[in-house]
A and B are shown apart, each in its own frame.
Chain A
């Protein structure tokens, strides 16, 4: 086992607009690279079977559970994490603002991944029905909110988008 791990690989990614090159073991997961090597701890680990979605990030324009990707597979990718979502340190992204307004989080552990999945959901369905919202969030587990206020937040975002059209 040790000799396999001894071989390291350089992975170059663009993360939240910054270019980073990191040397990793072949077995390292992308989520560990994000958290441990880059210190972006807003991306969380809630399981070890790719069920919970707490580690969801955006890879090349698509929401992906970063525990399902080896770090080496992300070489050359452009990644956005929760830390890269808000336009500035004091301004919130509309999804973040909606989560705050509708009390769509309690402990906050699932929240970064949930927000990244909501971002994908609204990209695919700008005007989702409640059933579509609930279905599209099936990859993210929240244990605190019962999902009720998460659905309210997404509905409010959709209706805001409608009003802007």
Chain B
């Protein structure tokens, strides 16, 4: 119970408590850790996309200065591995993935051998002395090419390179197609990306004489890594301690099980010394998971007034050479479940094929499947507007799920429920902030003088915080949907929160403290947060799927509430009144209507630990642990608008304005929330305009092998982001939050593509695939002009 005297922290733009160490150079990332006697591992990676390994000669490397151990894949057979995915859609054919390749390599960058040496430079030098005899095989890198007859086959147990086929169906698409005035068709490519956390991966495994092993790793999911490393290396889980210190960005890439995560623990135990591996950036491009990499074909059955009666979608999801941790879930559940977006489309039929190719494994990257799903829905609705010459706003309004429809199951889906939303409200707010009408007129006027401006729009919704646990089994997701929080009050009344969530820069120490402070009604300075140490934090799932506030925050809320309940019982004993007569507000327990002197939270905490005046049956201590399993998932939504100008002579896109209106439920901290939108939108703009992983289609060489070739945007390539919020609380959790981290990277790609296509509409250009680089745009304009002249 709260009253007006209580301070509300939720909703305030508190500055982050974690900043001080990071801005003064006192952050502690894994690469900053140096242990006595620490050895260094370096990995030899395959230079071939596909080859048979005839022989690995380690002799010269083993004799090099400072080298302690040299191993090839064959040496590890039967000792560690294989690496098993954690999300296996039923019916999937799972290829065997050894930790280090044994007799065949399947992508450029796959581990072939390793060296452990006293210094990193010595390890690198020795790696150069390993001699491998390869017999190259034909390679395939494209998802559509990989399923054609005669394509190179990657795994004996995966015919046609298809591991998984997943289907979604609701209503009757065939019937809708018969009733439609027209059918429109699209083929869209969701370009392959590199997540590019500024901190690359790193692992240190430190064995202790008592049999425990501590692994320092920038993990989004420390407790999951504990389970996976324990099972794959054969270490009793309770003897394994995972420590995730400061993490330099994750975006999904740091939540998977990688070979190096297993090699360091194995080697540390073999050698009885700490073993460290640090990933260089160029190494990262060929060893850390990539994102997206889909091709989709879409068919929409429409009426001439812009109503969409039905959609049919086929997705080909390229997952690289092996099934990474969650690989089968992305192109399937996470993508085609959301293909109808924010629209009432009753008849839907979709199929997704998960396809292996000779490329780096593809896995979760900020949005994982939901950006691809929103791209399907939004490119379709925009194509409908373009095709029928209707305004993009009107067509969206006409097809939107209405406010009264929530909770809404799109196409009668059993698995997808949008819990709440107000899309019209977001749209109105966005149009006003953007001055849509004014700018529409400006575009038209400027086009007459040969200047090509365009307005892009995208709507999105999705679901955050996969839950509840018992619903996850059917999709083959081998973990729960709960999050754990322990709130421990010390004898002075100060609180320590042990959270299973794991910040990678999000600011959980600040936001989780805000949630707890409101419930505990104590000053926020009296609250600390511990994350990222499995010996301190009881249990957890970590941070991904925009789940940390919705699930992790709710668990903190619930456990803080239990603290207050118990504190009231203790206070009742101290005040010698009945528990139900105790009122708690602003850190004081009182008995309203009496002259009994209130007791403070601090005094109650002290009593909890001395136990002198506890009522019968009440245990000492003030310490509550919760495993909070949500009943459902929250559905954020939003409208983004972009205003661009394209220079027809160079193809360069100038982003004049970007407006984001996001409805992510209750906002814990507006400053941090806007920060999530800014970063996500820029990653989405990056996908739309700049970034793309390129492989040579003939030999499978990675062409974007470093930051010289992979175009991560700089400050001057992106605009200011005007972020606004609408707050429709989620009914699925006690604080009403929905999840925010992925919104920007979901909405921005279609929004940007639509803006550029709108600018190019005078040329008759109606489709381009991302990234919309200057050469791509310039060539399209040249072709359009040439076509017009003929």
A and B part of one assembly: yes
Contact B678 A135 (CB under 8 A): no
Contact B15 A112 (CB under 8 A): no
- Closest chain-B Cβ to A50's Cβ sits at a distance in Å of 9
Contact B24 A82 (CB under 8 A): yes
Question: Taking the complex as formed, is A51 at the interface, i.e. its CB lies under 8 A from any CB of chain B?
Answer: yes
**Which residues of A, 87-113, contact B by the 8 Å Cβ criterion?**
92, 96, 99-101, 103, 105-112
Contact of A145 among B121, B197, B504, B678 (CB under 8 A): B678
Given known contacts A143-B712, A148-B678, A42 and B24 CB-to-CB distance under 8 angstroms: yes
Chain B residues positioned under 8 Å from A82 (CB to CB): 23-25
- Closest chain-A Cβ to B561's Cβ sits at a distance in Å of 29
Contact B678 A149 (CB under 8 A): yes
**Which residues of B, 689-734, contact A by the 8 Å Cβ criterion?**
706-708, 712, 714-716, 718, 720-721
Contact B16 A107 (CB under 8 A): no
Contact B198 A42 (CB under 8 A): no
Contact A107 B248 (CB under 8 A): yes
Contact of B505 among A83, A99, A106 (CB under 8 A): A106
| Chain A interface SS verdict (over half) | loop
Chain B residues positioned under 8 Å from A2 (CB to CB): 64-65, 125
Write out, one digit per residue, whether chain A residues 67-96 have a CB within 8 A of any chain B CB (1) or not (0). 000000000000001110110000010001
- Closest chain-B Cβ to A73's Cβ sits at a distance in Å of 18
Contact A86 B706 (CB under 8 A): no
Chain B residues positioned under 8 Å from A139 (CB to CB): 714
Which of B28, B65, B506, B678 gathers the greatest number of chain A CB atoms within 10 Å? B678
State in angstroms the CA–CA spacing of A99 and B16 once bound together: 11
Write out, one digit per residue, whether chain A residues 122-151 have a CB within 8 A of any chain B CB (1) or not (0). 000000001101110111111111111111
Given known contacts A82-B24, A96-B24, A48 and B706 CB-to-CB distance under 8 angstroms: yes
Question: Taking the complex as formed, is A44 at the interface, i.e. its CB lies under 8 A from any CB of chain B?
Answer: yes
State in angstroms the CA–CA spacing of A138 and B712 once bound together: 11
Given known contacts A44-B29, A148-B678, A115 and B23 CB-to-CB distance under 8 angstroms: yes
Chain B residues positioned under 8 Å from A133 (CB to CB): 715
State in angstroms the CA–CA spacing of A35 and B29 once bound together: 12
Chain B residues positioned under 8 Å from A141 (CB to CB): 198, 707, 712, 714
Closest chain A residue, CB of each to CB of B16: A103
Chain B residues positioned under 8 Å from A135 (CB to CB): 715-716
State in angstroms the CA–CA spacing of A146 and B684 once bound together: 10
Question: Taking the complex as formed, is A33 at the interface, i.e. its CB lies under 8 A from any CB of chain B?
Answer: no
Chain A: interface residue count, which band?
Answer: 35 or more
Write out, one digit per residue, whether chain B residues 61-105 have a CB within 8 A of any chain A CB (1) or not (0). 000110000000000000000000000000000000000000000
State in angstroms the CA–CA spacing of A148 and B716 once bound together: 11
Chain A residues positioned under 8 Å from B65 (CB to CB): 2
Contact A44 B714 (CB under 8 A): no
- Closest chain-A Cβ to B361's Cβ sits at a distance in Å of 21
State in angstroms the CA–CA spacing of A21 and B730 once bound together: 60
Write out, one digit per residue, whether chain A residues 24-45 have a CB within 8 A of any chain B CB (1) or not (0). 0101000000011001111111
Closest chain A residue, CB of each to CB of B66: A2
Which of A133, A140, A148, A149 gathers the greatest number of chain B CB atoms within 10 Å? A148
State in angstroms the CA–CA spacing of A148 and B744 once bound together: 14
Chain A residues positioned under 8 Å from B720 (CB to CB): 130, 148, 151
Contact A107 B505 (CB under 8 A): yes
Question: Taking the complex as formed, is A49 at the interface, i.e. its CB lies under 8 A from any CB of chain B?
Answer: yes
State in angstroms the CA–CA spacing of A133 and B715 once bound together: 8
Question: Taking the complex as formed, is B675 at the interface, i.e. its CB lies under 8 A from any CB of chain A?
Answer: yes
Contact of B280 among A35, A48, A81, A145 (CB under 8 A): A48
State in angstroms the CA–CA spacing of A70 and B242 once bound together: 36
Closest chain B residue, CB of each to CB of A54: B198
**Which residues of B, 193-246, contact A by the 8 Å Cβ criterion?**
196-200, 246
- Closest chain-B Cβ to A42's Cβ sits at a distance in Å of 2
**Which residues of B, 236-288, contact A by the 8 Å Cβ criterion?**
246-249, 251, 280-282
Contact B19 A100 (CB under 8 A): yes
Chain A residues positioned under 8 Å from B281 (CB to CB): 46-49, 52
Which of A27, A52, A142 gathers the greatest number of chain B CB atoms within 10 Å? A142
Question: Taking the complex as formed, is A5 at the interface, i.e. its CB lies under 8 A from any CB of chain B?
Answer: yes
Chain B residues positioned under 8 Å from A105 (CB to CB): 19, 22-23, 505
**Which residues of B, 641-683, contact A by the 8 Å Cβ criterion?**
671-672, 674-675, 678-683
Contact B249 A144 (CB under 8 A): yes
Question: Taking the complex as formed, is A1 at the interface, i.e. its CB lies under 8 A from any CB of chain B?
Answer: yes
Question: Taking the complex as formed, is B26 at the interface, i.e. its CB lies under 8 A from any CB of chain A?
Answer: yes
Contact A45 B31 (CB under 8 A): yes
Contact of B15 among A40, A100, A109, A111 (CB under 8 A): A100
- Closest chain-B Cβ to A58's Cβ sits at a distance in Å of 13
Contact A109 B678 (CB under 8 A): no
Chain B residues positioned under 8 Å from A108 (CB to CB): 18-19, 21-23, 27, 246, 248, 505
Closest chain A residue, CB of each to CB of B720: A148
State in angstroms the CA–CA spacing of A82 and B26 once bound together: 9
10 A-B Cβ contacts within 8 A? A42-B25, A44-B198, A51-B706, A52-B281, A86-B24, A112-B25, A134-B714, A141-B714, A143-B679, A147-B715
Task: Taking A105-B19, A109-B198, A138-B715 as given, write out 4 further A-B residue pairs in contact, using a Cβ cutoff of 8 Å, ordered by the A residue number.
Answer: A99-B19, A100-B15, A143-B249, A146-B681
Top-3 shortest CB links A-B: A42-B25, A107-B505, A108-B22
